[in-house]
Amino acid sequence: MEIAPEEQWDLEIKPQNHLFELHLTDVWRYRDLLALLVRRDFVSFYKQTILGPLWFFIQPLFTTIIFTFIFGNLAGISTDGLPQPLFYMAGITAWNYFADCLTKTSTVFRDNANIFGKVYFPRLIMPLSIVVSNLVKFGIQLFLFLILLAYYYIINPSLSPSIYILLFPFLVLLMALQGLGLGMIISAMTTKYRDLAFLVTFGVQLLMYATTVIYPLSTAITKYPDYAWIIEYNPMTPIIEGFRLGFLGEGSFTWGSLGYVTLVTFALTFFGLVIFNKVEKNFVDTV
């Protein structure tokens, strides 16, 4: 009996996937689409602006000036002996990347409902494109920080980086995964509860004050010992402290805190992927 050759089909209808089947290999096959979306996000955001990409420099620069005047001069908050503009810009540069990843990823279903309803591609491509495109913005702001850092290195020879600067790529990865994981969890909920999108924008601004962006962890522990644990267990605190310790040589950073934030980050990313994978199958019915 002759066996018929295996038939090739353009479309296969398969049963519903397992909850933990994340199809990460599909993302790699669609990497060209990822690059296209990153370029689209970067170009379209500033296409009709006068200053264009210069806003990448203006925003952290003006924020640093305001923080230096209000928190450094008026409030007199300690910066662990570090130059105030350098201290604040270090925190702002790191925080902006995390905050942008979180806020933009949290509305990915709502913002791209038209595209999701017309053509198939791995939905994870969208939040990943946000994280990567924000990495471009982060790189530009980091360049501005490094220029300011070089100036202070020249006028203050005692200021120097530490060996912890080698952790910088890993810290950036943790920031990206935290923003991605939390954003995907929230995006799954915003498909039914639109109000969450407004709460996230407001909540991220408040969360900054529970992170060591405008003050060092040592000051929080000394002045507010009863509430310092909230700041210590904030997953972004060890990252910002490690960032400052690496580039500026001052920061309350331990390997235990790095281990803690690594576990929290990968847990958030895993649960974010699982929840995102579950919701993306039928979110069009609710958006």
pLDDT digits (tens, 9 = 90+) for 217-247: 988 888 888 888 889 999 999 999 999 999 9
Residue at 15 is within a domain: no
Query: pLDDT band at 212, cuts 50/70/90?
Result: very high
pTM of the predicted protein model: 0.84
Structural domains counted in the chain:
1
Residue at 4 is within a domain: no
Question: Mean pLDDT lowest for which of 36-40, 63-67, 255-259?
Answer: 36-40
118 is in which domain, residue-wise? 53-285
Between 220 and 120, the more confident residue is 220
Residue at 255 is within a domain: yes
Residue at 8 is within a domain: no
Residue at 124 is within a domain: yes
pLDDT of residue 275: 86
Q: Phi and psi dihedrals of 41, rounded to 5?
A: -60, -40
pLDDT of residue 213: 93
